[in-house]
Structure 1
Amino acid sequence: MKRSVRPITYSLATTVTAGTLALTAAAPAHADDYRYWSLRHGDNGIWRTTAEGPGTYRPADGAVEGLRFAVFRADTKESVVPRAPADFKAICASTPAKTGTKRVALVLDFGTAQDAPSGEKPPSLRSHCVQLPPQATTAEVLAKAAPPLRYAPSGLLCAIAGYPQRGCGEAVTDRSGRASGSDSPRSGGGSGGGPSVGLLLGGGIVAALVGATAWQVRRRRNAS
């Protein structure tokens, strides 16, 4: 007997069902900037946008994964990326290769003071070389390198290393608190993201929602 799957509704005007993604009504015009963690992949020193979320993406040995926390502008195609190079050799220089594992370089950019929720101070940018089994996902890389992680009931990744302490993909109505990609080393591959249809897809947040949810479901199944 085929099970019926109840839709999961997200606060970012997004509804996800099994195998189907539907975007509902757009957010109000005055609330078109959003604050969230965005995933990027390193590609020959350039940060690229992603078409898959951290819960399902499996980086190869030698990959560089970058996450940036920021207020992403909906009215620009400027790319907001980690403000550190996607340099595997530098990050993993002191971690020798080990048979049966892979090494993944991880860059975590907690954003600027302007990106931060009220009353919070972003931690300093940091990087890790993470050694895990070959089939590990980016979410597993994060879980090992930067706990505690915080997820919304929907599966959306809200916090890395406990930052931010509150909030999750919320709309930002203060037009002055915007992120900029101009201080990043090298970027490419599309938009920085926002809640409109085009920018959602460009920024990878839709894929992150779906991917994180799939990962959470797998964890619950394995635990049961």
Structure 2
Amino acid sequence: MTRGRARCGRLVIGALLAALFGVLAAAPAQAAGYRYWSFWDRDGAKWAYASQGPSTAHPDDGAVQGFRFSVSEDSKDAAKPRGAADFDAICAKTPAKDDRKRIALVVDFGTPGDAPDGESPPKPRTACAQVADDATSADALAAVAKPLRYDSNALLCAIADYPKSGCGEQVAGNGQSEKAEKKPTAGESSESGEEKGDSGGPSVGLIAGVAAIALLGGAAVWQARRRRG
């Protein structure tokens, strides 16, 4: 009798584990992030994610700013521009002029892994933009890296015609683009799950499935104890 109960208990546990794996396998894959151009300010020897977009930022003469194309979830994991970012080196051949300011720009087109299907990123580049004193960062970028492309919400989509298509699209874990509920804005953090359209946590179905399995397991243990009693 005891052996029969033990065998029955093993069968119940096996069935519960199989059900658990089934629930986990059915859980939807989480999105990896967004593919977009992020915007950066040089703060001393470090890059800092810009607090506003390039169309509203008015950098001072001598500023160093960067743009990086990559796939990232939010500002916390966004890839920084690579390469040298020294104003004196970038603007060495651009003499100062009255009523004009010089902005050193670092443009990093990212890695092949971040590139949309069928495209290859150009090599990173630097440029010294000499623009009017009241010019924005977008004006400075347009002076040295045309053609630029924006979407209807003024999101920067392409620099120097890269990429040729797409704009802030959501990218799944398999690298395929998905339709995004809300696109990120360069210079603004999209850290909350509500903004990304994905909480990043377990799905409601997964939680419910695990809870149901836990209840079944508890019932099986109680029944076995009751029979032994």
For the aligned pair, the TM-score class normalised by the smaller chain equals 0.5 to 0.7
Instruction: After superposition, give the CA deviation of every residue in 1:117-140 in whole Å (9 maximum; x if it has no partner).
Output: 000000110000010111100010
Q: TM-score, normalised by structure 1?
A: 0.65
Using the alignment, how far apart are the partners of 2:32 and 2:194 within structure 1?
11
Q: What's the counterpart of residue 89 of structure 1?
A: 88
SS of equivalent to 1:140: helix
Structure 2 residue 192 is matched with structure 1 residue 197: yes
Q: What's the counterpart of residue 215 of structure 2?
A: none
Q: What's the counterpart of residue 207 of structure 1?
A: none
C-alpha change, 1:125 and 1:200, in structure 2 (3 Å) is farther
Q: What's the counterpart of residue 119 of structure 1?
A: 118
Is the Cα–Cα contact under 8 Å of residues 82 and 108 in structure 2 kept in the other structure? yes
Instruction: After superposition, give the CA deviation of every residue in 1:22-49 in whole Å (9 maximum; x if it has no partner).
Output: xxxxxx8622411000000011121111
C-alpha change, 1:44 and 1:160, in structure 2 (3 Å) is same
Structure 2 residue 68 is matched with structure 1 residue 68: yes
Q: TM-score, normalised by structure 2?
A: 0.63
Larger Rg: 2
Q: What's the counterpart of residue 151 of structure 2?
A: 152
Using the alignment, how far apart are the partners of 2:160 and 2:93 within structure 1?
23
> Greater relative contact order: 1 or 2 (C-alpha under 8 angstroms, separation 6 or more)?
1
Q: How many matched pairs?
A: 159
Is the Cα–Cα contact under 8 Å of residues 105 and 127 in structure 1 kept in the other structure? yes
- Alignment gaps of 5+ in structure 1: 1-27, 178-191, 202-224
Instruction: After superposition, give the CA deviation of every residue in 1:82-129 in whole Å (9 maximum; x if it has no partner).
Output: 012321011001111111110000110000000100000001100000
Structure 2 residue 97 is matched with structure 1 residue 98: yes
C-alpha change, 1:100 and 1:38, in structure 2 (3 Å) is same
- Alignment gaps of 5+ in structure 2: 1-27, 177-186, 197-229
What's the Cα RMSD here? Answer: 2.7
Residue 154 (structure 1) shift: 1.7
Residue 193 (structure 1) shift: 8.3
> Could you tell me which amino acid in structure 2 is paired with residue 34 of structure 1?
Y
Q: Share of identical aligned residues, percent?
A: 50
SS of equivalent to 2:41: strand
